[in-house]
Structure 1
Amino acid sequence: MDKDRRKVLGMAGCMAAAGVLGGGALKLVGAQDAKPEAKQQITKRPEVKLDSKGKVLHEPLPYVALDPEAALDLSYTNKLMGDCMYGVFSTIVEMLAEKVGGPYLTYPTTVTRVGAGGIVGWGATCGAVQGAAMAIYLVSPNPTPVIDEVLNYYQYTMLPDVKPKNAKMDIVPSKADSTLCHVSISHWTKASGAKAFSKERTERCAQLAADLTRKTVMALNEQLAGEFKGVFPIPEEVKACRACHDMGGAMENTRGKMNCLTCHSGHDEIKPNIYEKPPVKL
């Protein structure tokens, strides 16, 4: 009988202890619930400001003048560590983190590795071009003319034309005539005789990314000083194409700013569209 009694009392004690602990646990949960503002801070979406046209407002982060030559050398190293887009973008963010601090100290630059090989090997827009445009938009109050300048510089200049201090070899320069990775590399392999997956091509893209970072920093510095003018406007040939095919043109069937004639023939060489079905006779 005593044994059974002790068993019952023991069970009761355990239940009592569980009640105390349970109450404590409930108190802890209640304490968390007593701060709805903390929970709200976690779940609340960041406020998005809109301009007068209902578009997301462009609010650039602070920018200070950077050293273009230091950017050249750091970008070369960063490209070899994390590919083209990372090489350009992370360099500018790292240099601003040292000079400005604030948001640049924790900016997630590794996401820009997506730009490798023209977006994970697709050969689309060159990663260095993507990184430059993203960096410019991040800090410039008027990014479009600066982006246009840097992208036209990429298209129409024999690159790379400046060698980083820590470069491993001399590279044959070439003109991309496009902002597309596969076109840029194809033109370079033709000029250099090297293969697209060679160590020479890896070095070429590292120097190219470094070159574009230097140009981007120079353009941003000029804009900051109120001295930006731009020396690489859209060529007259591209303007001629846009006059007909872009906004407001007679056809208005496309849009763009890059060199059209790299991939498309002029009007005197237009061939019939072999994919177009012949008209049906009624």
Structure 2
Amino acid sequence: MTEEVSRRDFVRMAGAAIGGIALGAVGGYSILPAKETIITQDVPLEVPEHPWVYAKLDVDKVKERAYAAYFEHGCSYGAFEGIIGELQDTVGHPFTSMPTIMSKYGKGGTVGFGTLCGALNGASMAMNLVSTDLNMVTEIVGEYTETAYPAWKPVVAKKTDDDLPTSVSGSPLCHVSVTKWCEASGFGSGSNERKERCGRLTAEVAGRTVEILNGMADGTFSAVFANPDSVTGCNGCHGDDGNVANVHAKSDCVQCHADAHDN
């Protein structure tokens, strides 16, 4: 008896093997070894507790960035993006986890209601992200009420390259700040000049905020703003500890209540 496989047997066995492979494929599996699949997943970086560690920034870079951002989404975003955006680029995490667009709401004194100036809103939020010292927020808001804006000019202006008239608001409110500037300049609130003015103001507020934060980082910050005499005098009666006790504020009183008393 021979050990050799006949031609007929060979053809029969080969056909059976091919049929088995085909059935396996139709059944949803393969008899061939599967390729190894490696699944990778990014592990989120831990977000540190508040306040986040600040790193000193270039004031001029922040101003230019805030100015450009103002013309994207307004004053609050301009100031916040000017500061936090620079920290994202220079420091990275955790600042890269903060979407700066969240500050857009503050434009026009909070979606156009004319309350707190958006530049102050965004700047204060940026300050509070890296510090618990609210005296720094008092400083930037208080300075704003006493500063003649705008004094700064961008490298390349968006609306006009002209030197613009300045005004002192005496108030942190968008409505008061814009109206006083319009009265002083003669330009309308919807004019390109007013938009340019607010863009430059946003840059100045962001830049001054960074100067204060840099001072904090160096250990040299010292608050110098003091409430106006009108606030001290009026709050003697109207403040929390006064006999009237119907006011809880430290904005200049006489701007809105100049004729509050006849005597």
User: What amino acid is the match of 1:223?
Assistant: M
Alignment of 1:92-103 (within 5 A): 92-103=83-94
Secondary structure of the corresponding residue to residue 123 of structure 1: coil
* Structure 2 unaligned spans of 5+: 1-26, 29-48
Whole-angstrom CA distance in 2 between matches of 1:255 and 1:245: 8
Give the TM-score normalised by structure 2.
0.77
Which of 145, 148, 152 is residue 135 of structure 2 equivalent to?
145
Alignment of 1:1-282 (within 5 A): 59-142=50-133, 144-167=134-157, 168-169=160-161, 170-269=163-262
Shift, 1:141, TM fit: 3.2
The aligned amino acid for 1:215 is: R
- Asked whether the 8 Å contact 1:242–1:249 carries over to 2, the reply is yes
What displacement does 1:161 show?
A: 1.8
Q: Tell me the equivalent position of 2:6.
A: none
Partners of 1:164 and 1:207 within 8 A in 2: yes
Residue 266 of structure 1 and its aligned partner are, at CA, apart by 5.0
Quote the offset at 1:244 in angstroms: 2.1
d(CA) in 2 for partners of 1:245, 1:164: 43
Distance 1:109 1:258, change over 3 A: same
Instruction: Report Cα offsets for 1:84-115 as digits up to 9, x if no partner.
Output: 00000111111111222112113121121111
Counterpart amino acid of residue 147 in structure 2? T
Aligned length, in residue pairs: 221
- Conserved 8 A contact 1:155-1:179: yes
Structure 1 Cα separation of the partners of residues 94 and 76 of structure 2: 20
Secondary structure of the residue aligned to 1:65 is coil
What code does the residue aligned with 1:66 have? Answer: L
Structure 1 residues 225, 266: closer, same or farther in 2, change over 3 A?
farther
Q: CA RMSD, aligned part only? A: 2.7
Preserved CA contact (<8 Å) 2:65 2:81: no
Q: Which deviates the most, 254-263 or 86-95?
A: 254-263
Tell me the distance in 1 between the aligned counterparts of 2:132 and 2:57.
Answer: 17
Q: How many Å separate the matches in 2 of 1:267 and 1:195?
A: 30
Structure 1 or 2: more helix by fraction: 1
Deviation at residue 198 of structure 1 after TM alignment: 0.8
SS in 1 for 2:56: coil
CA contact (8 A) 1:73 1:166 kept: no
Larger gyration radius, structure 1 or structure 2 = 2
- Structure 1 residue 257: Cα displacement: 1.6
Q: How many angstroms does 1:122 deviate by?
A: 0.9
Whichever residue aligns with residue 68 of structure 2, its letter is T
Instruction: Report the identity percentage.
Output: 36
Contact 1:163 1:207 in 2 (8 A): yes
Residue in 1 that maps onto 2:23: none
Q: Which amino acid counterpart does residue 88 of structure 1 have in structure 2?
A: A
Deviation at 1:164, TM superposition (A): 2.3
Q: Secondary structure at the match of 2:70?
A: helix
Paired with 2:239 and 2:102, the residues of 1 have a C-alpha distance of 33
SS at 2:258's partner residue? coil
Q: Which moved more, 1:82-91 or 1:233-242?
A: 233-242
Question: Does structure 2 retain, via aligned residues, the 8 Å contact 1:148–1:233?
Answer: no
Distance 1:223 1:266 in 2: 41
> Normalising by structure 1, what TM-score?
0.72
Q: Supply the distance in 2 between the matched residues of 1:217 and 1:226 (Cα, whole angstroms).
A: 14
| Counterpart-to-counterpart distance in 2, 1:267 and 1:185 | 24
User: Secondary structure at 1:208's aligned position in 2?
Assistant: helix
